[in-house]
Structure 1
Amino acid sequence: MQLWAGLGNPETSMSHNRHNIGFMAVDSIAKRHGFSPWRKRFRGEIAEGRIGASKVLLLKPMTYMNASGDSIREAATFYKIPPDAITVFHDELDLAPGRVRIKKGGGAAGHNGLRSTDRQLGTQDYWRVRLGIGHPGAKDRVHGWVLGDFAKADQPWLEDLLDAVSDTAPLLAAGQREDCMTRIALLTANSPKPTIPGQKAGETGVKD
């Protein structure tokens, strides 16, 4: 079994925040691949299903971002899922909006959900699907940026991204992560390119 956890905050008022793109990703996967209805467990919500030959448990921690690792650890411990079979979907400031990178390990880079997960699992050696939301440019704008809602102008590229993540989930489940990233890039190549407030069109201020 694989554990795929999307990071976010549980308040309804925060459901469209950039910080909640991890929740959005696993919601999209659950819908696309016919997972069971979401139910409460492990201080979160879980949905179960199969993607290709793999049994996958989707998890949305309801502990708030700063304690996401508590929920992930409980689920992983119960099902005896090793870190190598855990994938965390999260927002990434240091990627341009709509860009995706999949990697194993690495630091939390200031992300409290990852920091909590590192601490509770006792390792950084789990997989991360980094979903680009862009950087507002100034450090003092980061808090408001991640806890702000996606703008109406963001919806076209955001929908394309979530569709692509769902479409390529079989590659991710099969461990074909490079192919998964390549396919997502192809599927989103014609998506509208968002402009971050305060920056000129075509500038992102972050890594591509």
Structure 2
Amino acid sequence: MPQDFMNTSGGPISKLCREYRVAPEELLVIHDELDLDPGDVRVKVGGGHAGHNGLKSIINKLGSRDFSRIRVGIGMPPGRMPVVDWVLKEYRNVEMEDVRRAAIDAADAAEMCLEHGVVFARDRVNGAGKPGSR
């Protein structure tokens, strides 16, 4: 199992995909998402990187955007806090329950993707008609 920072995860992920003959369309990436409220979970099929350095790395090394994602909301940093400080900050005890709930929801979404397919999971998790459901 690769142990690397998200920002440079494209190398290990592409190596594993080659080694195990996993096509980009079969890959499921779980990542943090600034554009979602903290704790919100969404499933997405394909797409760009939206400025996310980890997704940029994966897209660059795979040569494809056609992998699916489970996006876990962390919200935008308050005030003028740099994004890097926001995504790497330690959670306070009061925030940990939201983190635990989001982790469970993301794991449930991943299980649904594996058992029923990404489109089914996307429609179920995101809800028909919700922004980002397609």
Residue of structure 2 in register with 1:83 after alignment = 24
Kindly report which structure 2 residues correspond to 1:7-22, keeping only aligned pairs within 5 A, or say none. Answer: none
Inter-partner Cα distance in structure 2 for 1:125 and 1:166 = 21
- TM-score relative to the length of structure 2: 0.82
Residue of structure 2 in register with 1:23 after alignment = none
Q: Which runs of 5+ in 2 are unaligned?
A: none
Alignment RMSD (CA, Å): 2.1
Inter-partner Cα distance in structure 2 for 1:74 and 1:90 = 19
C-alpha deviation, 1:167, in angstroms: 3.5
Q: Which runs of 5+ in 1 are unaligned?
A: 1-44, 46-60, 184-206
C-alpha deviation, 1:169, in angstroms: 3.6
- TM-score relative to the length of structure 1: 0.55
Give the partner amino acid of 1:166.
A
Kindly report which structure 2 residues correspond to 1:55-94, keeping only aligned pairs within 5 A, or say none. Answer: 61-94=2-35
Asked if the contact 1:66–1:116 (Cα under 8 Å) also holds between the matched residues in 2, the reply is yes
3-state SS of 1:96 partner: coil
3-state SS of 1:125 partner: coil
Inter-partner Cα distance in structure 2 for 1:79 and 1:139 = 43
Q: Considering only CA atoms, is the larger Rg found in Structure 1 or Structure 2?
A: 1
Runs of 4+ in structure 1 off by over 6 angstroms are: none
Inter-partner Cα distance in structure 1 for 2:100 and 2:8 = 28
Task: Point out which structure has higher relative CO (alpha carbons under 8 A, 6+ apart).
Answer: 2
* Higher share in strand: 1
Residue of structure 1 in register with 2:121 after alignment = 177
C-alpha deviation, 1:178, in angstroms: 2.7
3-state SS of 2:64 partner: coil
